[in-house]
């Protein structure tokens, strides 16, 4: 799979993440719809990429893997009062054992409407690849318009 997605570089941090992940060989395309838990009548469209790199930590323990995950995605809310794209970007590094194989990562969604969201990714990791199992939005921290909402 080739990376034909446009990167959304909005800050020096994001440019640094993009540069650090530019050599990562693994690529997962993000697309489709996500359920919006705060606006159940509307979906959120997602378009972006996950790049990943896997490294064996120790020749004596081939199940121990260092997993680096980079995400860059644009989300478009179906909420009628929202006409700007939400953004998700980040770079993480974890150690996981391939026998366990499930990695759950959450990333702050930036540029949202009144409420805070995290994009939660569930990933299956083995010695050769990372597979996206699920992606979902989770609200957290309340809303600007109504801090007592949660």
Report the C-alpha gap between 30 and 48 in whole angstroms.
5
Structure-block tokens of residue 113: 């409407």
Is the model more confident about 100 or about 2? Answer: 100
pTM score: 0.82
Q: What residue numbers bound the domain in which 107 lies? A: 12-141
% of the chain beyond a pLDDT of 70: 85
Instruction: Please say whether the beta carbons of 83 and 75 come within 8 A.
Output: no
pLDDT class of 144 with cuts at 50, 70, 90: low
How far does the chain reach from its first CA to its final CA, in angstroms? 40
pLDDT class of 72 with cuts at 50, 70, 90: very high
DSSP bridge pairs for 28? 50
Instruction: Report the pLDDT averaged over residues 116-140.
Output: 93
Instruction: Report the pLDDT averaged over residues 87-113.
Output: 90
Domain-located, residue 61: yes
Domain total of the chain = 1
Domain-located, residue 5: no
Q: Give me the chain's average pLDDT, please.
A: 84
Q: Please give the pLDDT value at position 4.
A: 44
pLDDT at 150 over 50: no
Domain-located, residue 2: no
């Amino acid at each position: 799979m080739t990376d034909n997605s446009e990167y959304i570089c909005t800050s020096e941090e994001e440019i640094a993440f993009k540069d650090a992940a530019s050599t990562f060989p693994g690529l997962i395309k993000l697309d489709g719809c996500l359920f919006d838990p705060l606006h159940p009548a509307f979906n959120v469209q997602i378009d972006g990429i996950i790049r990943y790199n896997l490294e064996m930590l120790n020749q004596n323990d081939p199940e121990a893997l260092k997993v680096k995950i980079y995400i860059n995605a644009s989300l478009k809310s179906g909420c009628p009062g929202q006409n700007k794209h939400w953004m998700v970007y980040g770079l993480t590094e974890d150690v996981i054992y391939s026998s366990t194989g499930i990695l759950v990562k959450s990333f702050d969604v930036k540029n949202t409407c009144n409420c805070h969201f995290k994009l939660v990714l569930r990933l299956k990791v083995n010695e050769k690849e990372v597979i996206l199992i699920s992606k979902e939005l989770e609200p957290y921290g309340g809303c600007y318009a109504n801090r007592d909402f949660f």
